[in-house]
Amino acid sequence: MTDFDPASLLVPRTQSADEGPIVRMAQKARDMRGRGVDVVSLTVGEPDFDTPDNIQAAATAAMKAGFTHYSPVMGIPELRTALSKKLKTENALDYGPNEICVANGAKQAIANAVLSIIDKGDEVIMLAPFWVSYEIGVRFAGGTPVVLHASVEEDYKVPARRIAEAVTPRTKLLILNTPSNPTGAVWTKAELEEIAKIILAHPRMMVLSDEIYEYILFGGQMVSIGTLPGMRERTITVNGFSKGFAMTGWRLGYAAAVEPIAKAMGRMQGILSAGANQFVQRAAVAALEGPRDEVERMRLRYLARRDMVLNGLRAIPGMKIGDIPATFYAFPDVSALLGKKAGNHVMDTTDRLCDWLLDEHAVATVPGGAFGAPGSIRLSFACSEAEIEKAIARLQKALSSLL
Ligand code: PLP
C-alpha cells in the first residue's frame, strides 16, 4: 500500500494545454450520437471530403518504393524545393529550400516557430477572435499573450491603431491568421501595410502569418504579409496541407522564414519528433505539382454551403453576421440572445447557449470564449448540405423560441 499519487507529479503546463470547448462539444455530440440521438455537429474544423485520389496514389507509390524510413529533420529536399516554388509563384514570397522547415502539421510548425523565438516574459500580440491553439502555444513557451479584440462590426479585424497601442519593448511577435479561423476574415493589402509599418518600427518584432486557409477563398485577394517591403526578414509564414487539400489526418505543414529562424525551427522539430513522414512528404509534392481540380471543386462546395449558412443565419433575429469571405466557418455574434430564456434555462453565456442547443435541439456548435470572443459562436460548415439544412432549421426553431 502506498500513498503515491501519480497526478501529483504533473506540472502546471499540462493544465494550461486544455483545448477545451471544441473537443468537449465534439465529444459530447459523438456521445449523443452513440446513444442514438440524431445530432448535427458543426464543431470540428476539418473538410468532410476525402484526400484527392492523385495524392493518395502518390503516397501509396512512395510507400511501395520504400520511402518508409526516417527523413531529414527539416523535410525532404524535393518537398522543400516544391514549397519554395509554390511560395514564389502562388504567394510572391521569396524563400529558398533552406529557409523552409516541414513539420507534422501547421500546428507543429507554429509550435516550432513560437518555441524558437518566445521565451519567458516575451509578449505576443494576438488578434481575437483567434484560433485556440495560438494562445495555448504561447503560454506553453512561457510567453505572455496580449489579446486584442475586434467586433463583428469591425469585420473581426483589429484596427492597426489598437495594435500600435499594445506594442511594448517586450513585444516580440504578432500572430496573424488570414484567412481567419474562426471568422473567415481576410486582411487586405492596405490593412497589412499598416500592420507591417508597426512591426518595422519595432527593433525586434516579427509576425507569424498563418495562411492555412488560403485555398478556401470566395473572392478578393489573399496577400501574404511577408511580400511587403522589408517584411521578408520579419515574417514567419506558416501553411499546411490539411485544409485546402483535405489532408488533416496526414499531418503535414511547414513554416518559411530567413535561415537562422528556419534552422532553429528545425532544431525544435528534431527535438519534438524528427522529420515528418516521408511518404506523406512525397504525396505532398504530388499535391503541389498535380492538378488542382479537386481543390477547386471543394472550394466551390464550401462557397455554396457558405451561402446556405449565411442565408439561414441572417433569418434568425438576434444573430449578427457579416460576410464570410473565406474558410468554412461562420462566427455570428449572438450577444443579443444572451440573457434570454427557454423555460428555466437562462442563456447567460454562449457556453450555456451552446449546451442548450446541443442538449435540447441536437445541434453542436462551439462557444466563442475559446476563440477569445465570448459573445459569438462558431459553426463549421465543412459538412454535407443536408446536414447544414437540418442544422439551420433546428437553429431557427430553437433560437426564435427564446424569450
Ligand atoms: N492554423 C489554423 C488557423 C487552423 O484552423 C488549424 C486547424 O484547425 C491549423 C493551423 C492546424 O493545421 P494542421 O492540421 O496542419 O496542424
Give dist(CA 134, CA 143) in Å, integer. 11
Residue of higher predicted confidence among 345 and 76? 76
Residue 150 Cα to ligand 1 midpoint, Å, equals: 21
How would you label 72-83 residue by residue, b for 16+ Cβ within 10 Å and e otherwise?
Answer: bbbbbeebbebb
Peptide bond preceding 182 in cis form (omega within 30 of 0):
yes
User: Coil, strand, or helix at residue 386?
Assistant: helix
Report which of 379, 316, 398, 318 is spatially closest to residue 43, judged by C-alpha positions: 379
Q: Is 181 in the pocket of ligand 1 (CB under 6 A)?
A: yes
The DSSP string of 187-237 is --HHHHHHHHHHHHTSTT-EEEEE-TTTTSB-SS----GGGSTT-TTTEEE
Q: Is 266 in the pocket of ligand 1 (CB under 6 A)?
A: no
User: Coil, strand, or helix at residue 303?
Assistant: helix
Residue 232 Cα to ligand 1 midpoint, Å, equals: 23
Q: CB-based contacts of 199: which residues, under 8 Å, 6+ apart?
A: 174, 205, 206, 207, 231, 234
Give per-residue pLDDT as tens, 153-194.
Answer: 999 999 999 999 999 999 999 999 999 999 999 999 999 999
Domains of the chain: 6-50+294-400 (3.90.1150.10), 54-289 (3.40.640.10)
pLDDT at 21: 82
Give the rounded percent of residues in the chain with a pLDDT score beyond 70.
99
Whether 103 contacts 253, CB under 8 Å: yes
Q: Which amino acid is at 300?
A: L
Q: Is 41 in the pocket of ligand 1 (CB under 6 A)?
A: no
Residue 102 Cα to ligand 1 midpoint, Å, equals: 14
Give dist(CA 377, CA 366) in Å, integer. 6
Grid cell at residue 39: 445530432
**Best probe residue, ligand 1, of 136, 243, 254, 329 (max atoms within 8 Å of C-beta):** 243
From the CA of 45, give the closest atom in ligand 1.
8
Q: Is 209 in the pocket of ligand 1 (CB under 6 A)?
A: no
Report which of 373, 329, 330 is spatially closest to residue 351, judged by C-alpha positions: 373
pLDDT at 17: 60
Is the dihedral angle over the CA atoms 244, 250, 251, 252 positive or is it negative?
negative
Q: CB-based contacts of 51: which residues, under 8 Å, 6+ apart?
A: 245, 246, 247, 250
From the CA of 240, give the closest atom in ligand 1.
15
From the CA of 109, give the closest atom in ligand 1.
16
Q: Which amino acid is at 290?
A: G
Give dist(CA 372, CA 378) in Å, integer. 12
From the CA of 108, give the closest atom in ligand 1.
16
Q: CB-based contacts of 146: which residues, under 8 Å, 6+ apart?
A: 123, 124, 125, 126, 166, 171
Residue identifier of the C-alpha nearest atom 5 of ligand 1: 181
pLDDT at 18: 63
Whether 330 contacts 311, CB under 8 Å: no
- pTM beyond cutoff 0.85: yes
Query: Average pLDDT of 297-319?
Result: 96
Mean pLDDT (the chain) is 95
Give per-residue pLDDT as tens, 88-139.
Answer: 999 999 999 999 999 999 999 999 999 999 999 999 999 999 998 898 889 9
Residue identifier of the C-alpha nearest atom 8 of ligand 1: 45
Q: Is 240 in the pocket of ligand 1 (CB under 6 A)?
A: yes
Q: Is 276 in the pocket of ligand 1 (CB under 6 A)?
A: no
Q: Is 45 in the pocket of ligand 1 (CB under 6 A)?
A: yes
Give per-residue pLDDT as tens, 40-55.
Answer: 999 988 999 999 999 9
pLDDT at 19: 64
User: Coil, strand, or helix at residue 148?
Assistant: strand
Q: Is 269 in the pocket of ligand 1 (CB under 6 A)?
A: no
Angle at 176 between CA 170 and CA 181, to 5 degrees: 135
Q: Is 327 in the pocket of ligand 1 (CB under 6 A)?
A: no
Q: To the nearest 10°, report the CA torsion of 260, 265, 270, 275.
A: -110
Query: Average pLDDT of 5-28?
Result: 83
Whether 294 contacts 274, CB under 8 Å: no
Residue 377 Cα to ligand 1 midpoint, Å, equals: 19
Strand order through the sheet with 366-367: 329-330, 377-380, 366-367
Whether 41 contacts 246, CB under 8 Å: no
Report which of 185, 208, 170, 194 is spatially closest to residue 327, judged by C-alpha positions: 185
Whether 243 contacts 215, CB under 8 Å: yes
Q: Is 242 in the pocket of ligand 1 (CB under 6 A)?
A: yes
Q: Is 107 in the pocket of ligand 1 (CB under 6 A)?
A: yes
Q: Is 179 in the pocket of ligand 1 (CB under 6 A)?
A: no
Residue 397 Cα to ligand 1 midpoint, Å, equals: 32
